[in-house]
Chain A
């Protein structure tokens, strides 16, 4: 990232310092500690243990950085699923504040392998809603008939 404007223009997050070992310059990045992380997973149990069955991106890291994590999940499963294959438990339950069972919760985006393509018309409607400050109304339309 060095050489980009991230380092040059955001000194509140990035600083170049001299390594105390050999004097070479290295980039230091400030730790981010968000109040909340909200992540969507394929499977969670009632305690908050989460199985991420598709790509995990930064979800596991976000859960560790945040003070509290809220999980939405395609489905609630029994804890025996975690015990069967503990390697797939990407977030242990004690990091999780709340679990919400919400099938389709990542739509209009993707939650592999549950739904594997972006629903573009709905995604465009979402973008439009963001631009126009209409996100609550958009959310209402997405949730209609599901709550």
Chain B
């Protein structure tokens, strides 16, 4: 079957959703993965965006924002970001979510703020300085990371992105591992999986360090270890993720009308 690595990643992410969940998706590929799940196996999923758009499904392909016409065209409700993030996510009601990541570490902390020159990271020097590269920011991902009962992080699997420690925590995962989240009183439970274009990592139930759970037909344990910047542990039951079914691909492509996931 002919499909791209990004399509496999989106389908693997979508499989993490169950019917009836209240879900919020970050902008970009996250939305395609989420709305694929709704179309494919979770028809009663209730989805909204951090801009306060409720009850809609994308029309005409990948929405380029959180409240643009592709995501707003058939909405039943528009409120606002304070309502969506500050009230509905912050109250702990959201069951499942997807966020993206530019840089990610072994405890699932996500950096979407900036990349610093080695040695000048804010956590190393103890104060904030301007980054070498400014990223596009957390958006609503911080609130989702703090408030959703669980969520999935989608990222391109590259060594420079998968770091021992992120330069800056934009959206906290398990902070320094263990039950660190409890210290901060977060209503949400933390990331349940990191789904990449090479495989799926999941957190150890106790240490919360992410280990390799499964790989795709086109990737391998060795390739994933090679592309991870920390000493990645591998599950003794590491397995291959089933390839997309015809129905899954058809439903994904119906959502991804413009083929954003097929582009290299």
Residues of A within 8 A of B (CB): 49, 64, 79, 82-83, 86-87, 89, 92-94
List of B residues within 8 angstroms of A89 by Cβ: 54, 76-78
List of B residues within 8 angstroms of A86 by Cβ: 53-55, 72, 75-78
Task: Report yes or no: B75 in contact with A64, Cβ–Cβ below 8 A.
Answer: no
Task: Report yes or no: B78 in contact with A93, Cβ–Cβ below 8 A.
Answer: no
Task: Report yes or no: B46 in contact with A64, Cβ–Cβ below 8 A.
Answer: no
Instruction: Look across to chain A and name the residue whose beta carbon is closest to the beta carbon of B78.
Output: A86
Interface residues of B in 193-247 (CB under 8 A from A): none
Given contacts A49-B55, A64-B88, contact A82 B83 (CB under 8 A): no
Q: List 18 A-B contacts (CB under 8 A).
A: A64-B88, A64-B91, A79-B76, A82-B77, A83-B75, A83-B76, A86-B54, A86-B75, A86-B77, A86-B78, A89-B54, A89-B76, A89-B77, A89-B78, A92-B48, A92-B55, A92-B76, A93-B76
Report how far A100 CA is from B83 CA in the complex, Å.
Answer: 25
The DSSP consensus for interface residues of chain B is mixed
Task: Report yes or no: B91 in contact with A93, Cβ–Cβ below 8 A.
Answer: no
Report how far A5 CA is from B46 CA in the complex, Å.
Answer: 43
Interface residues of B in 51-95 (CB under 8 A from A): 53-55, 72, 74-79, 83, 87-88, 91, 93
Task: Report yes or no: B87 in contact with A64, Cβ–Cβ below 8 A.
Answer: yes
The 7 closest A-B pairs by CB, nearest first: A89-B77, A82-B76, A92-B54, A86-B78, A64-B87, A86-B75, A92-B77
Task: Report yes or no: A94 in contact with B46, Cβ–Cβ below 8 A.
Answer: yes
Chain B 10-48 near chain A by CB (<8 Å), digits 1 or 0: 000000000000100000000000000000000000101
Report how far A72 CA is from B78 CA in the complex, Å.
Answer: 21
Q: Which of B46, B74, B91, B93 contacts A83 (CB 8 A)?
A: B74
Task: Report yes or no: A49 in contact with B88, Cβ–Cβ below 8 A.
Answer: no
Q: Which of A64, A82, A87 contacts B55 (CB 8 A)?
A: A82
List of A residues within 8 angstroms of B72 by Cβ: 86
Q: Determine how close the nearest CB of chain B comes to the CB of A89; give it in whole angstroms.
A: 3
Q: Determine how close the nearest CB of chain A comes to the CB of B74; give it in whole angstroms.
A: 6
Report how far A93 CA is from B79 CA in the complex, Å.
Answer: 13
Q: Determine how close the nearest CB of chain B comes to the CB of A134; give it in whole angstroms.
A: 37
Task: Report yes or no: A49 in contact with B77, Cβ–Cβ below 8 A.
Answer: yes
Report how far A124 CA is from B85 CA in the complex, Å.
Answer: 42
Q: Which of B76, B79, B88, B93 gathers most chain A CB within 10 Å?
A: B76
